[in-house]
Amino acid sequence: MTGIDDLPIRDELRGKSPYGAPQLDVPVRLNTNENPYPLPEALVARIAERVAEAARGLNRYPDRDAVELRTGLAGYLSSTAGHPVELANVWAANGSNEIIQQLLQTFGGPGRTAIGFEPSYSMHALIARGTGTGWISGPRRDDFTIDVAAATAEIARLRPHVIFICSPNNPTGTAVDAATVLALYEAAQTAREREGGALVVIDEAYGEFSHQPSLLPLIADRPLLVLTRTMSKAFGAAGLRLGYLAADPAVVDAVQLVRLPYHLSAVTQATALAALEHTDTLLGYVEQLKAQRDRLVTELRAMGCAVTDSDANFVQFGFPSTHPGAAGESGDTPPADQQAIWQAILDHGVLVRDNGVPGWLRVSVGTPAENDAFLDAVRAVLKENK
Ligand code: PMP
């Protein structure tokens, strides 16, 4: 039988694994940071209407520039993210993963490098590899915040072409403040001053869940600062595949050079527009999830788990038995036995995520009933481990 190794694939892909969060059939799945609430029925009906309308024109290619959708997304950002943006500032694609891919195809590529501060969203490195961009793993402190001095020193030393700042950060939940972003932006522009600067990407996939305001206002007068967002989390529409960016219009013009023609189907555009009509209801769910997130943090700490402060719709936690004395403190570095704990929680019917951060696991915030089931499972495993 022919295997991958027998094929003449690119050398840098040899021996590598694809992105693969387990899709297991268990009662409670809290492993991929999805929104646990199905779309409201009124929205489902509106999607059906909008898609039927779009279906009548499916013999034609869709609006290549997705003008109506980008205008709607600009309106959403302008009213919720603290800074006015317009059609020309916004670009949309099939998930923010595709946005990131288009940015790396445009600003990265062979002979160029990108840096992220790890642990962080693993797809930044994977998409870098897929686009032939070299990857630099930048540092974080033990409490998972970004150390500005260490980060700017790395940028000055290695002069990356693209800098990823994930806020709130996946998988730790850590938000990044504006001062840190500005320091990294300045360092990046200084390091590549002679070549016209470097692109700084703020990945705000979980922005709506944060205690902090959006970092969107920072794009003003900074043509190389890009903010990426998604409808997969706050809008509860991971199955839709709709991500977007906000930046200087020149960046939007630049990604046109690599986007596939008609990349965003008419069905996708119609569905996303319907979802935007129901923004208020969907943001109501976000408020419930934020309250449940804060509850998970409090209850896990009360049980003696270590928990990293979270600004996202997930929580990073470690078990007390793995790091004596660390109860309730965020930031301790526990020893690496998270695989056994992951399995033990799974044995109680709850799937959480092992992101390979030694000693830590990640749980997505579910419905109150799912969160109860998760907390019961943790309680049971803690007892078994005594
Ligand atoms: N950025 C971050 C930080 C994420 O966690 C995710 C999804 N898990 C994405 C981007 C990609 O989301 P999507 O492609 O569904 O928009």
274 lines ligand 1 (CB under 6 A): no
Q: Average of pLDDT values for 29-42?
A: 96
Whether 240 and 287 map to the same domain: the answer is: no
Residue 385 has pLDDT above 50, yes or no: yes
Whether 273 and 285 map to the same domain: the answer is: no
Nearest-atom index, ligand 1, CA of 170: 3
C-alpha to C-alpha distance for 334 and 347, rounded to whole angstroms: 22
Q: State residue 321's pLDDT score.
A: 56
Q: Helix (H, G, I), strand (E, B), or coil: what is residue 193? A: helix
CATH number of residue 371's parent domain: 3.90.1150.10
The answer to whether position 181 is within a domain reads yes
Domain boundary among 277, 303, 318: 277
For 113, phi then psi, to 5°, come to -130, 155
Whether 108 and 221 map to the same domain: the answer is: yes
How far, in Å, from the CA of 230 to the mean position of ligand 1?
7
Whether 271 and 295 map to the same domain: the answer is: no
Whether 257 and 298 map to the same domain: the answer is: no
Whether 74 and 122 map to the same domain: the answer is: yes
Per cent of the chain over pLDDT 70 is 96
Whether 203 and 241 map to the same domain: the answer is: yes
C-alpha to C-alpha distance for 125 and 137, rounded to whole angstroms: 8
Domain boundary among 262, 277, 292: 277
359 lines ligand 1 (CB under 6 A): no
Whether 142 and 245 map to the same domain: the answer is: yes
Closest-CA residue, ligand 1 atom 14, reads 95
User: Could you tell me the residue range of the domain that residue 224 belongs to?
Assistant: 55-277
Closest-CA residue, ligand 1 atom 7, reads 205
Edge-to-edge order in the sheet of strand 90-93: 90-93, 243-246, 225-230, 199-203, 162-166, 113-117, 134-138
Nearest-atom index, ligand 1, CA of 238: 15
Distance from the Cα of residue 168 to its chain's centroid: 8
C-alpha to C-alpha distance for 348 and 28, rounded to whole angstroms: 9
> pTM of the prediction?
0.94
Whether 59 and 168 map to the same domain: the answer is: yes
C-alpha to C-alpha distance for 231 and 47, rounded to whole angstroms: 15
The answer to whether position 49 is within a domain reads no
The answer to whether position 253 is within a domain reads yes
Residue 328 has pLDDT above 80, yes or no: no
93 lines ligand 1 (CB under 6 A): no
238 lines ligand 1 (CB under 6 A): yes
Per-residue pLDDT tens over the stretch 68-125: 999 999 999 999 999 999 999 999 999 999 999 999 999 999 999 999 999 999 999 9
Whether 219 and 154 map to the same domain: the answer is: yes
- Give the type of residue at 299: E
CATH number of residue 211's parent domain: 3.40.640.10
**Of 30, 96, 313, which is best to mutate to test ligand 1, by the most ligand atoms within 8 angstroms of its C-beta?**
96
Nearest-atom index, ligand 1, CA of 242: 16
**What's the structural domain count of the chain?**
2
120 lines ligand 1 (CB under 6 A): no
Whether 25 and 132 map to the same domain: the answer is: no
319 lines ligand 1 (CB under 6 A): no
The answer to whether position 246 is within a domain reads yes
167 lines ligand 1 (CB under 6 A): no
Contact criterion met (CB below 8 Å) for 39 and 239: no
Domain boundary among 257, 277, 297: 277
Q: Average of pLDDT values for 358-379?
A: 97
Per-residue pLDDT tens over the stretch 113-171: 999 999 999 999 999 999 999 999 999 999 999 999 999 999 999 999 999 999 999 99
